[in-house]
Structure 1
């Protein structure tokens, strides 16, 4: 079984994807973490985000692996390092590059061939898993998404104002929706769920009703 979950930053995709994968005994593949790994590599290898060739070269050499919730890049755990505001800010800079997307999408498709997967991202239902058994599009208003992001940052001791976070989310939304390669798209056959004001459990229950109903 393949489950594709798309939506903008902060809509709850990753948390809910992990929970669904656990419920159904499937593998969760964090595609967003893969793009974050490339941005992290560029930052740590002295790359230039304005030099596309530089980013492609770094991406081609990056070895990204997962162990449960843990993320590794070039044999080093980067689970926490790829979640910093700096990496978040530059992730869309690498995600808009066609060669980088093609490289990572090939890896994602190859993995999905041999595993029951739950994947979340921006272009899972449109590009990575166009024939997925279930496609979901999760959304929430910007302020709610900013509050969730601030809570995450606060828990990690990173101080940033709610206004600044909302501003960054708006910018990322704009980048994700308007980039040429793998833009954020709400597919016509996707089940749309607004997560504003809903708990993780409520959203998961809503998604499980669709999945279990189809399996019955």
Structure 2
């Protein structure tokens, strides 16, 4: 991590729109973008493919330390294979949530994530970006939405891809994941004390973006848009 590089963090639960918001901010500013969730999803995919039990902490931690992972122009490359689509399923999302609850895994991936902070700046999307990974971030945003709204958004995405999905079950899975993420012992999903909190339940992405950029401009008045 380059000392003095400005960082903006966007944290929140799955389906809140944080990834879309963070990427849009990064594009506007011409900064680097970190999708930390993709890192945990790739690890979850590796664990699922290997058929490893979630109790095998040593093996999962070893996998985390040696992930053959890279990002290139929208592709998520695992040993050269683009797994960008494969890691976006609900199954892998749940697997990611489980491996993310392992303290040794989070420690192993900490330096990996911090190394993304490079000039001119970084916008980091995740669940503990502002509380653990980049506690000194210049601007911290915590984006949320009701479980019902997030389930509806995911439902529409999956239906649009021609996939069969049950809305009630999807809502329950989101609630379960929220519970697991917010109550884990290490790096729980919580808003940083200094975070600007936004509830996107009844807001469009444009409205969320404008509010976020207003807050960013107030915190970083010399920033060029």
Instruction: Please report the TM-score for the alignment, with normalisation by the length of structure 1.
Output: 0.95
Aligned to 2:72: 67
The CA deviation string for residues 53-77 of structure 1, in whole angstroms up to 9 with x for no partner, is: 2211222221221123221122211
Q: Give ranges in structure 2 of 5+ residues lacking alignment.
A: 1-5
Match for 1:213 among 210, 214, 218?
218
**CA displacement 1:26-63 (0-9 Å, x = unmatched):** 11110000000000011112322222122112222212
CA contact (8 A) 2:11 2:130 kept: yes
Aligned to 2:177: 172
Which digits, 9 at most, give the CA deviation of each residue in 1:160-200, with x for residues without a partner? 11111110000000000111121111111000011011111
- Tell me, in whole angstroms, the C-alpha distance in 1 between the residues paired with 2:68 and 2:61: 13
| Structure 1 stretches lacking a partner, 5+ long | none
Out of 50-59 and 122-131, give the one that drifted further: 50-59
- Between stretches 115-124 and 54-63, larger displacement belongs to 54-63
**Match 1:17 to one of 9, 16, 22:** 22
2:157 aligned partner: 152
- 2:3 match: none
CA contact (8 A) 2:138 2:219 kept: no
Over aligned residue pairs, what C-alpha RMSD do you find?
Answer: 1.3
| 1:45-124 matched pairs, under 5 angstroms | 45-113=50-118, 116-124=121-129
TM-score with structure 2 length normalisation? 0.91
State the shift of 1:115 in Å: 5.4
**Deviating runs (4+, > 4 A) in structure 1?**
none
- Contact kept in structure 1, 2:15 and 2:154, CA below 8 Å: yes
